[in-house]
Each structure stands twice: as C-alpha cells, then as structure tokens.
Amino acid sequence: MKVKRSTGIGFIALLLFSFLVNAQRGNTGDKVFADRFPEDVIDPITNTYLLVKNTVDHDIIVSIRDQYRKYLNHVYIRNNDEYLFTGLPISRIYLQYKEFYFEDKQNTVINYGERHTFTFFFDASMEGNFMTITEEEFFKP
C-alpha cells in the first residue's frame, strides 16, 4: 500500500504541533510573572516551609503575601502537583490564586521552623472561604 506524500507530511506536522502546544505549558516552580512582581522576599534563617498542593484539574499561579498584603513570593503549580516554599519570613501570610483571582480569607501564621501544608481545591460549598480579587490586586507589589 502506497501512502500519499501529503498525508505523511501532514502527520509529521500534526506530531510537531502537539509537541509545541505542550511545550507552552509551564513547569511547577516557574516564575511566570517575574516581570510583573518585585523580587521574592526570602529569609533563609527562619527555617520555614509551606507546601502548596494543587488538587484541581487546571494549573494555578500562587502568590503569597504578608500580613500587610505586601508581595513575598509567587510560583506556577501544575494540576495535581505541589510546590514547597522555603525561607518565608515570620508573618501571617495570605495566599492568592491566579486562575479565577481568588484570595484565601484565612491567614496562616508562619513562625520560626514551622512547616505548613495548604491544599488548593475548589468546592462550591466552601465558596465563603475565598474572596474574588481583581487582576490589579493580584499583581500589586
């Protein structure tokens, strides 16, 4: 059976296109908005850890802010993946999520040497735990 040359070229083009589409998706830990945020705030002597788990079916970008809502850190987390923030300053922190621009209403208190885990999930019955924020609020310094 002879295959048409245009069919073979079309298949190769489709295969290459599928690799390019996947390549545009970031990796967990990427600083995809480094140009829109100030430098990350890291305090290595605090020995703090915050593990953020993304359990939803889409990728998210997490921004961490201190008790005064000042920017500390941000990171891209793929769906069903997790990221470990280290060296967070001792403070109360708030987490914001870019996908729907949410902010967790509850704060997490970070003290010296503490390890925390936060699992990001969406449950319509838990909607009162999050507030919607604007894109400007998400990207403010």
Nearest by Cα to 89 from 70, 68, 111: 111
Residue ranges in the chain modelled with pLDDT below 50 = none
Domains of the chain: 44-139 (2.60.40.10)
State residue 25's pLDDT score: 78
Give all strands of the β-sheet with 115-120 in edge-to-edge order: 81-86, 49-54, 115-120
- Which pLDDT belongs to residue 120? 75
pLDDT at 26: 85
pLDDT at 96: 79
